[in-house]
Amino acid sequence: MALYTLALLALAAADGGASDAGLGWNDPLYAQCPQAPPPVPLEDGSWKLPPARAARNACLAETCEARRRTLEPIAAAPPPFSSGSLIADLMLLGLGVLAGVILGFTFRGGFK
């Protein structure tokens, strides 16, 4: 299937028409799939899929499968330790205690 995808990439480079099948500029999986005409509706209610559309669908399916294989181990792993969130939590805890002490001393006179 990888050779098929490479052949489609060569076709996309040859005719200049390509579309992004990735999720964004920082997506580790980036594919160029050739442009294709939409499916053609037939009179009996079915659809005729042009060969170029079938090639594009195969390219996109290979891209999705490769992305799934990339993300599956990451999703199965435990979440990584984040020192940044630990520091933020400790700072918020300190601010909460400080605000409690200040408000406590401020309102202390009102309850005597």
**Residue 31 neighbours by CB distance under 10 Å:** 21
Residue 45's domain spans which residues? 2-77
Q: Is the domain of 94 the same as that of 49?
A: no
Separation CA 108–CA 102 (nearest Å): 10
**Inside any domain, residue 82:** no
Question: What pLDDT was estimated at residue 63?
Answer: 82
Amino acid 30: pLDDT: 61
pTM above 0.75, yes or no: no
Q: Which residues of the chain have pLDDT under 70?
A: 1-31, 112
Does residue 99 belong to any structural domain of this protein? Answer: yes
Q: What is the count of structural domains for the chain?
A: 2
One DSSP character per residue, 5-60 reads HHHHHHHHHHH--EEE-SSSTT-S---EEE--PPPEEPTTS-EE--HHHHHHHHHH
- Looking at residue 3, its pLDDT comes to 58
Residue 5: predicted pLDDT: 62
- pLDDT for 17 equals 44
Residue 45, domain member (yes or no): yes
The answer to whether residue 69 sits within a structural domain is yes
Residue 70 and residue 107 share a domain = no
